[in-house]
Amino acid sequence: MAYKHTNSKGVTYYLNSKAVVLRGGKEQTIYYFSKDQRPEASDLPDGMTVNENPRNGFLTVKRK
């Protein structure tokens, strides 16, 4: 089940994750929101919280 969040403007976004390799060779998981459901759907990880920009409603995932 993918995590979904409705922002203050009433738009629903779905959380996605992706494993990327950084320039130094280290692997890191990135999280991003999309308006549609994708195969990369993800649950909200433990120790993370969703933060919303009050000006434009843009969502980000942040460590607690």
Specify the pLDDT at position 30: 96
Q: What are the tokens at 55?
A: 């000006």
| Full-model pTM | 0.89
Distance, in Å, from the CA atom of 5 to the CA atom of 14, rounded to the nearest integer, reads 7
**Burial grade of 49 (CB within 10 A; 0-12, 13-18, 19 or more):** exposed
Specify the pLDDT at position 1: 74
Mean pLDDT per 10-residue segment, the chain (64 residues): 93 97 97 95 96 95 94
* Cβ proximity of 2 and 41 under 8 Å: yes
Q: Which residues does 8 contact at the CB level (< 8 Å), separation at least 6?
A: 52, 54, 57
